[in-house]
Amino acid sequence: MQANLFHRNKKDKSDSELLRFYFETHNPEFLGELYGRYIYLVYGVCLNYLKGPEQAKDAVIDIYEKIQHEILKHQIRNFKSWLYVVVKNHCLMELRKQTPGKTLFISEEKELELFMENSGELHPDDKEPDEYPENELEECMKKLKVEQMKCIQLFYFKSKSYREIATILNIDLKKVKSFIQNGKRNLKICLEEK
Amino acid sequence: MKNENPYINEANFRRYLNNQMSDAERNRFERELEKNPFEAEALLGYEKSPTNEFNKEIEELKKEIRGKKRSSVSRYWAAAATVLLLVTAGLFWTQLNNETPTPEVAKLENGNGKKAVTAKVDSVTDENLASTSIKREAYEQEEVADIKNEVIETETKSATEPATATDTKNETATNTGTDNETVTVSSTMTETESGSSEMIQEETINSNKNQTQLAGNSKMSRTKQDTKAASFNFGNEQSKGLKAGFTGQLSIKQDSIKLTERVAFPIDTNDIFPDSFKTIPASERGRVQEIQGVAIQDQVELEGDPYLTDVKAYPVGGMDNYLKYLEKEAVLPNDFPVLKDTVQLRLNIDSQGKITMIQSRNNEGSMLLERSKKIIKNGPRWNPQVVNGEKIQSEVKLNIVFKKKQK
């Protein structure tokens, strides 16, 4: 009876509720609902790592079948974070199969192992630059490279999109992302030193 | 109560990909992307992909996952159904294999209690046809006849019944209430192209009043099974279609009761003859077949092993061959004081046919006794005595006549 109620309302349930119910019942309906919520992300990541849509689709199905058993072996607090790690691991394993002996992504694999061990939030303490104290931030901003500083200012303080920044600075969109990411990391390091 | 981030969700992801956001919205979404590598990497993947049919592809994947969800559940049912089917098939197969070949089963009772019926059916000469263990799959008819204190006359009279292979309604009864009964047994077997055989069997059992003793109000229960093309007659017209029975004690011998039976059905000769029957020497098979058991409507329960006929212990290969063997082996040495000497023995044969003890009954000299034991031990094996379908331990008296070899 309880299972039926959950079954009917599973779309309204939170991730943790669905997860708990899957642990209790092992009913794949609940895991399917949970997986379905993030399938667009799983597919996107698989597209990012693997060669084409067909491989990525196969990987999405394989991962679903895999997690039905794997999920029961772990204590998972955040399904989405855990799923991201599993997806990345799966894609790396697929790549390794395709190119045996290649040491590509080895550092990322180590990183993933750490994620697996912690299995917590990916960025629990991430602060955006505009959330730091203004005076400290100003000092550290001056230490950044010019491109990084400009991109950070436009992105966080002028609320410009990647696309707009690329137009304003007349640089490639990927460069914009890269400057923002690196600038943010350097800022964080600088601010943590203070 | 989904864990919805107001900015990072599937709808916004699609809007962003489809360029449906304003620049301010894009900035808000991209700021979230900076904090959510899962989304950021997925976005990279979509940007790298040559196709732009993400919505369609994602929907297809969702459908496939839903199919997997169903199939996971249905897989359990399929597995359960398969197991059930296999178990059922196994039971059915076991049942088929255990199905007793119920040729004719009769149970006789009288008012004082049950008495076993021994029906000796002779004149079945063909060893293939001697076994009446033909599977008759359906009871089509049960016939009941009451016989009250009847004495069947010795004279065998003609009351044969015209039985056809296909129509059981044409059966006529022959054996009750009349003085004239004749049943002939004759069998023919025709091979069909498919390899199976169609057997047409007519049995005639002569009934003999002197040989048949009925006492009191007698009832005979007779249950008959026919295959699709089989027809079988027993009883009389009054009892057609009903359960037939008489009580009392009946002994039927080859020349005393005749029953006509005509059956036509496909048979597999490898299937219908039990192994136990094959162990009976050919010379013995046609001689005696004793049937004993209880017939119940729609079900036949036999006491003991229905395949085993009641016989006394006898050597494998038949007594004649055994005697020849003894004659050949029981040779006195030339310097023996007498020309001929007899050793009287008592053999104990267990239920497996193994000779467990050999004793002398005439206290013959140890040399001949030991010689006799050796001859017996080296000789043919024995078949155990069978009573009520059960192999039992028995004692056999055997005389071995030792003679000097004639020159």
Q: What is the pLDDT of residues B106-140, one digit of tens each?
A: 444 444 443 333 333 343 334 443 333 333 433 33
Which of B9, B23, B38 to mutate against chain A (most A CBs within 10 Å)?
A: B38
Cβ neighbours of B67 in A, within 8 Å: none
Closest CA to B317 of B284, B357, B347, B290: B284
Q: Nearest by CB to B58, from A11, A39, A163: name it.
A: A39
Does B176 have pLDDT greater than 60? no
Is the pLDDT at B182 greater than 60? The verdict is: no
Residue A68 contacts B where some CB pair is shorter than 8 Å? yes
Specify the 3-state DSSP secondary structure of B175: coil
| Chain B residues within 8 A of A38 when measuring between CB atoms | 38
Residue B371 has pLDDT above 90, yes or no: no
* Cβ pair B42:A160 closer than 8 A: no
CA distance linking residue B46 with residue B50, whole number of Å: 8
The tens digit of pLDDT for each residue in A81-138 reads 899 999 999 999 888 887 666 555 444 444 444 444 333 344 444 667 777 777 778 8
Give the mean model confidence (pLDDT) for residues B291-310. Answer: 47
Separation CA B370–CA A49 (nearest Å)? 93
Residues paired with residue B221 on neighbouring β-strands, in sequence order: B107
* More confident position, A167 or B387: A167
Q: What angle do CA B61, B64, B70 make, to 5 degrees?
A: 145
Closest CA to B163 of B155, B153, B154, B173: B173
State the smallest CA–CA distance between residue A164 and chain B in angstroms. 8
pLDDT of residue B19: 87
Partners of A111 on chain B (C-beta within 8 Å) are none
Residue A158: which of A150, A146, A169, A148 has the closest Cα? A150
Residue B181 pLDDT grade (very low, low, confident, very high; cuts 50, 70, 90)? very low
Mean pLDDT of B308-336: 85
Could you give the CA distance from residue B46 to residue B42 in angstroms, rounded to a whole number? Answer: 6
Dihedral sign, CA of A44, A50, A53, A57?
negative
ipTM for the assembly: 0.81
CA–CA dist B239, B245 (Å, integer): 9
Task: Find the angle CA(A184)-CA(B35)-CA(A131) to the nearest 5 degrees.
Answer: 55
Residues of A in contact with B74 (CB under 8 A): none
Cα–Cα dist A56/A49, whole Å? 8
Which residue among A15, A49, A161 places its CB closest to the CB of B23? A161
> Residue A18 is encoded by which pair of tokens?
């669905």
Cα angle for residues B264, B268, B274 (degrees, 5° grid): 110
Q: Choose the closest CB to B43 out of A27, A44, A57.
A: A44
Q: Where are the alpha helices (DSSP H) in B18-174?
A: 23-35, 37-48, 54-98, 127-130
Each residue of B207-240: pLDDT tens digit?
444 443 333 343 343 434 433 344 444 444 443 3
For chain B, say whether A188 makes contact (Cβ under 8 Å).
no
Q: State the Cα–Cα distance between residues A116 and A111, nearest whole angstrom.
A: 9
All residues of chain B having their beta carbon less than 8 Å from the beta carbon of residue A43 are: 42, 45, 54, 57-58, 61
Residue A46 has pLDDT above 90, yes or no: yes
**Cβ(B161)–Cβ(B175) below 8 Å:** no
* Chain A: closest CA distance from residue B84 (Å): 23
Is B1 within 8 Å of A14 when comparing Cβ atoms?
yes
Residue A71: pLDDT band (50, 70, 90) is: confident
Is B376's pLDDT higher than 80?
Answer: yes
Tokens 């049950």 correspond to B114
* pLDDT value at B281 more than 80: no
Asked if A32 lies within 8 A of B66 by C-beta distance, the reply is: yes
The answer to whether the Cβ–Cβ distance between B68 and A37 falls below 8 Å is no
**Between chains, do A163 and B37 touch, taking CB under 8 Å as contact?**
no
| A54 in B contact zone (CB under 8 Å) | no
Question: Is there a contact between B323 and B304 (Cβ–Cβ < 8 Å)?
Answer: no
Q: Does A86 touch chain B (CB under 8 A)?
A: no
CA–CA separation, B161 and B159 (whole Å): 6
Q: Does B11 touch chain A (CB under 8 A)?
A: no
Residues 6+ apart with CB under 8 A from B367: none
Identify which of A29, A60, A161 has the shortest CB distance to residue B61. A60
B1/A11 Cα distance (integer angstroms): 8
CB contact under 8 A, A48 and B45: yes
Please, is B205 exposed, middle or buried when counting C-beta atoms within 10 Å of its C-beta (0-12, 13-18, 19+)?
buried
Is residue B242 within 8 A of residue B182, CB to CB? The reply is: no
The region, left, alpha or beta by phi > 0 then psi within -120 to 50, assigned to residue B241 is left
Grouping H, G, I as helix, E, B as strand and the rest as coil, residue B403 is strand
> Could you tell me which chain A residue has the CA closest to the CA of B3?
A14
Contacts with A63 (C-beta within 8 Å, 6 or more apart), sequence order: A42, A46, A86, A87, A90
Phi and psi of B369, rounded to 5°? -65, -45
- The token duo for A179 is 């400057």
User: Which residues in chain A are closer than 8 Å to B1, comparing Cβ atoms?
Assistant: 12-14, 17
β-bridge partners, B397 = B346
